[in-house]
Each structure stands twice: as C-alpha cells, then as structure tokens.
Amino acid sequence: MNYEFDWQAILSGQYLEWILQGLQCSISLMILSSLIAVAIGVFVTFGNLSTNPLIHFISSVYIELCRNIPTLIWLLFFYYVFPELFPEKIEIALNSSTMLNYWAAIAGLSISSSGYISEIIRGGIMAVPREQIAAAYSLGHSKAHIWKYIIWPQAIRNCFPPLVTRIIHNVKNTSLALSLSVHEIMWATQQIESITFRGLEVTILATIFYLTINFVLSHLASLAEKHVLATKN
C-alpha cells in the first residue's frame, strides 16, 4: 500500500465549498428531522393511548407502517410518489421545486423515526405505576394536573435513554439522503471522489464528521441525564 495523501487538493476552492455546504446541510437535516420526529411521535402516542377505538386503530396502523418499512423507501416515496398523488398543477409545482429533495428527505426521515419514538414514549408513560394516577385522582387532582406533575416528569426520565439512541440512529440515517442527491456531506464526498479520485481523503473526512457528531450527542445526553433529569432526593 503506497497511497499518497493529498489534502490540499480536496480542501481548496470549489471542493471545500461543497464540503462546508454538505456539513451545514447534514446538520440541518439532523436537527430538523429529529425535532419533527419527536413532535409527531408525541402526537401519535396520544392517539395510541386514546380510548376511542378508531383513533387508537389509526395510530397503531401508522406506527406499524413507520416501523416496518425501511427509511430509504420512505425517502424515495416522498421524492418520487408523493407529488404524483396531487392534482397536476400542484404536482408540476412540486416537481419543479429545487427544494423538493431536501424536504422529501426530512419528511421520510422524520416519519420513519416517529413510529419508533412514539413506541418509546408510550413505553415511558406505561411504566408510570397506575396506583400513582389512581391516588392522584382520589386526592382530587385534575387530569391536566396529573399529566403535568405526575406522568410527564417520570415518563421523560423513563424514555430518555432509548430516545437518545433512536435520535442517534436518525442522525446516522441522514446519510441516506444521498439517494435523493440532497447536497449533504455524503453527496459532497461522492462528487469529489468522482472528479478528483481522492476517495480516501473525503471518506475519512465524512467518517470524522459522523464520529464527532455521535460523540458530542452521546456526551450531551449523558450530561443531561446526570444534571437535568436526575431525581432530586
């Protein structure tokens, strides 16, 4: 193996610009899709816990669909099929939009994560002992009061570690947006590789990027667990 590294070639001019743009795009994908996924997840959990059988059924079907179809299929679905489902005028407007692939990636990522997240949150809520809720009712607390002071604080503590795992998974999945040629970091590395044949350098760059992001995220999570969520006895 005698490979000569040439960092100068890829860290200058247009290529550097692609990489920086890719980093920015990747990070915005990660943040937006995770936030939307958590929001949808919480919403669907309420549907799943509802006593109305129809709402319960719809949200269960939604969760199963999210969990059992690969993320990549969701991305491709939102990019290729979703515009097709609208009347022609909207379809043309959607297809001519340059941001379609970016938003399709966000929609696909957040939908595919939201199913898992809602299951995690449901697990956290179900783990709160029923006796506590019954006791709170008999003490005359209102429903909103019980959610705010009894269920949520415990549920958040219960579901925080698996939630972080899932978000890290989602962060890694943003690399799939490459298949829609969203200009994120993997796309940048592939472009530069195909022009300069400096595949090793750019792949190392991407590897370092993902390692850093995951390291920072897991450390933030353990800090949060220690200081913010710790039970104050």
Partner 1 sequence: MTDILKIIKMFLIGPFPQGELGGLAINIILALLTMVSGFVLGLLLVLGRISKKAVIRKITTFIVEMIRALPLLLIVFWFYFLIPLFSGKTLPLFLSAYLSVTLYSAVNQSEIFRAGFMNISKGQWQVASCMGMSYSQCIIHIILPQTLRMMLPSFVGFLLSLFKDTSVISIIGLIDLTQTGIMLSQREPNKLVFSYIVMGGLYFVFCFALSRVAKKIELKQQGCGAK
| Rg, Å, the chain Cα set | 22
Nearer to partner 1, 82 or 147 (CB): 82
178 binds partner 1 (CB under 8 A): yes
Q: Do the beta carbons of residue 124 and residue 155 sit within 8 Å?
A: yes
Decide whether 69 or 156 has the Cβ nearer to partner 1. Answer: 69
In the complex, what is the shortest distance from the CB of residue 67 to partner 1, in angstroms, rounded to a whole number?
Answer: 7
CB atoms within 10 A of CB 30: 21
- Closest CB to partner 1 among residues 100, 178: 178
Q: Which of 96, 89, 100, 152 is nearest to 121 (CA)?
A: 152
Stretch that binds partner 1, among 40-48, 86-94, 127-135, 178-186 (CB under 8 A): 178-186
Q: How far is the CB of 178 from partner 1 (least distance, A)?
A: 7
The footprint of partner 1 on this chain (CB under 8 A) covers a number of residues equal to 36
Binding segment toward partner 1, per CB under 8 A, in 30-38, 51-59, 130-138, 203-211: 203-211
Measured from the CB atom, is 119 or 146 closer to partner 1?
Answer: 119
- For partner 1, the binding residues in 54-93 under the rule CB under 8 A are 64-65, 67-73, 76-77, 80-81, 84-85
Torsion of the alpha carbons at 78, 82, 84 and 86, rounded to the nearest 10: -150
Distance CA 195, CA 227 (A): 48
Which residues have CB under 8 Å from 183's CB, separation 6+? 18, 21, 22, 25
What is the sign, positive or negative, of the torsion defined by CA atoms of 89, 92, 96, 98? positive
Q: Nearer to partner 1 by C-beta: 118 or 146?
A: 118
Site string for partner 1, 182-201 (x = CB under 8 A): ----x--x---x-----xx-
DSSP states of 88-133: HHHHHHHHH-TTHHHHHHHHHHHHHHHHHHHHHHHHHHHTS-HHHH
- Residue ranges binding partner 1 (CB under 8 A): 1, 3, 64-65, 67-73, 76-77, 80-81, 84-85, 172-176, 178-179, 186, 189, 193, 199-200, 203, 206-207, 210-211, 214-215
